[in-house]
Structure 1
Amino acid sequence: MASGPHVRRWWTSHADPSPEAIGRRCAADIDGTTATRIWIAEVNGRSVGFVQDYRVGDHPDYALLAPDPDAVGLDYAIGEPEWVGRGIGARILWAWMLKAQHRLPDASAYFAAPDHRNEASLRVLEKVGFTRGVWFDEPQGDGSVATVVGCTLDIDLVVA
């Protein structure tokens, strides 16, 4: 899966965005040996994006900002530029939500926090039922700060 400029714009804290470097950094998450899980999204057998999830409460700094510290946090991206703007993002998130509901049946909410300028991501979240909430500053790995929008989805209301 490639990582085009449309992804690197929002994921600036990673020095090397190549698929090989991402694979090395995220191998334990992909293998399921950490609390964060990464799911590869495929279309016709080709990797086009990912979703990663984690319990917000496992990250105390985030738990203070999320409306529900027991929520499942998620991050996602479509890395292949030719798949951007084709509706695949909403389908990926919906498929992930259906699987997550069975894997994590005690969760009552999902929480994502995209950059406040990332309107494409905010629209995808709204399409699948997230609501925008509090804006907050999130420290990045490179020392910068990103202003993000906390978006929450009530699982019982939208997915169940």
Structure 2
Amino acid sequence: MARVSFRPMTVHDLADVVRWRSEPHLLRWFDDLVPDVHAALQRYGPRLEGRTAVRMSVALLDGVPVGFCQHFPVASHDDIAVKVQDPRAVAFDYLLGEPSLLGRGWGAVLVETFCREVLVPQCPDAPRFVALADARNRRSLRVLKRCGFSLGLWVQLPTSDFAEIVCTAPRERFEASVDL
């Protein structure tokens, strides 16, 4: 059976990031373009160098890069902290970049594995894991619900065209292996 794993992202992964973020299934969820590796380095370089609280990981399917995740303490981002209202939690974002994997359950496997194999060991003091999902992104909301996240508060800032849903799961949910 195929296996999802993660490794820290490096600058050598940025060409994949540019390609994934340009895929039609993802383009609509980003309001900032990353058209080339130089732009990706400007955006993600400080994270990759450890100069921010954000940690980035490449998602691998049987050793082949297929997407990425990033995580950070909620308290490290004021705008996220206001939305989440849980400063001890860890927030994460995920992206399944390969179109051939869509609609086949890999998003849930990616999120489940990321929470269990990356967030649990790397964030031992976080009582909860949080994802802010665009309320229009039904596919992402289904993935998060399938992985045991509760859909909570809807937040729409005056400067935003859409609402985000604060999706939360207790760390205990991922401390033991769960079959999806």
Q: Which TM bucket (shorter chain)? A: 0.7 to 0.9
1:112–1:150: 8 Å Cα contact kept in structure 2?
yes
Q: Which of 83, 87, 91 is matched with 1:65 structurally?
A: 83
SS at the partner of 1:113?
Answer: strand
Q: CA deviation at 1:108?
A: 0.3
Alignment partner, residue 75 of structure 1 = 93
Question: Which deviates more from structure 2 when the two are superposed, residues 22-31 or residues 144-153?
Answer: 22-31
Alpha-carbon distance change, 115 to 17 in structure 1, aligned in 2, over 3 angstroms: farther
Task: Summarize the Cα distance change of 1:23–1:95 in structure 2 as closer, same or farther, 3 Å threshold.
Answer: farther
Alignment of 1:7-156 (within 5 A): 7-12=26-31, 14-18=32-36, 21-98=39-116, 99-138=118-157, 144-156=160-172
- Tell me which residue corresponds to 1:159: 174
Deviation at residue 91 of structure 1 after TM alignment: 1.4
Distance 2:165 2:50 in 1: 28
- CA 1:17 to 1:6, structure 2 compared with 1: closer, same or farther past 3 Å? farther
The AA in structure 2 aligned to 1:150 is V
Q: TM-score, normalising length from structure 1? A: 0.86
> Percent identity over the alignment?
35
Post-superposition Cα deviations, 1:70-96, rounded to whole Å, max 9, x if no partner, equal: 110111111111111121111111221
CA distance in 2, matches of 1:30, 1:47: 17
Say which SS state the counterpart of residue 84 (structure 2) adopts.
coil
How high is the TM-score relative to the length of structure 2? 0.77
Tell me the secondary structure at the aligned position of residue 165 of structure 2: strand
How far the C-alpha of 1:29 sits from its partner, in A, is 1.7
RMSD value, Cα: 1.9
What is the rounded CA distance, in whole Å, between the counterparts of 1:84 and 1:131 in structure 2? 22
SS at the partner of 1:159? helix
Structure 2 SS opposite 1:35: coil
Letter in 2 for 1:154: P
Structure 1: runs of 5 or more not aligned: none
Tell me the secondary structure at the aligned position of residue 33 of structure 2. Answer: coil
How many residue pairs end up in the alignment? 155
Q: 2 CA distance for matches of 1:65 and 1:104?
A: 20
**Structure 1 residue 38 displacement after superposition:** 0.8
